[in-house]
Amino acid sequence: MQADQMIELVQSALDDMKAKDIVLLDVTGKSSVTDFMMIASGTSKRHVLSVAQAVIEKVKQAGLQPLGSEGQNAGDWVLVDLGDVVVHVMMPDARSFYDLERLWRFENEGKERVVSQ
C-alpha cells in the first residue's frame, strides 16, 4: 500500500472516531524511522485508546499488519507504527508538552498539513 493510501485510511479512522486537531507532518529526509507522522488528540484517556485501536483495526481490515504500538497502558499517548506512517494519538496536555509539531517543523516549513479540526 502506498503512503498516500495509508494516510487516507488512517485519516478515515481518526475522523470516524472524532479525533481532534489532526495534523499530518511530512518528515521525509528528516527521520530515518518514517516519512509521515499523523498527530491527533483525544478528549479523554479512554478516547485516546479507542481512537488508536480503531486505527489498528482499520489497517488490519485493509490487509496490513502494524509494525507495533506503544502506550496502551497509560492512555496519555498511544503511538501506532505503520512503517511509512507513524500515528500519534495524544491527550491535549501531552501533545502540548511534547509539541511534536514544533519539534519536527524545523527546516520543514510548508510540509505540515492540518487534516481536520
Annotated domain spans of the chain:
3-105
- The pTM of this model reads 0.88
Rg of the Cα trace of the chain?
Answer: 13
Per-residue pLDDT of the chain in tens (117 residues, 90 and over written 9): 789 999 999 999 999 999 999 999 999 888 888 999 999 999 999 999 999 999 999 999 999 999 999 999 988 999 999 999 999 999 999 999 999 988 887 554 545 555 555
**Residue 75 grid cell:** 492512555
In CATH, the number for domain 3-105 is 3.30.460.10
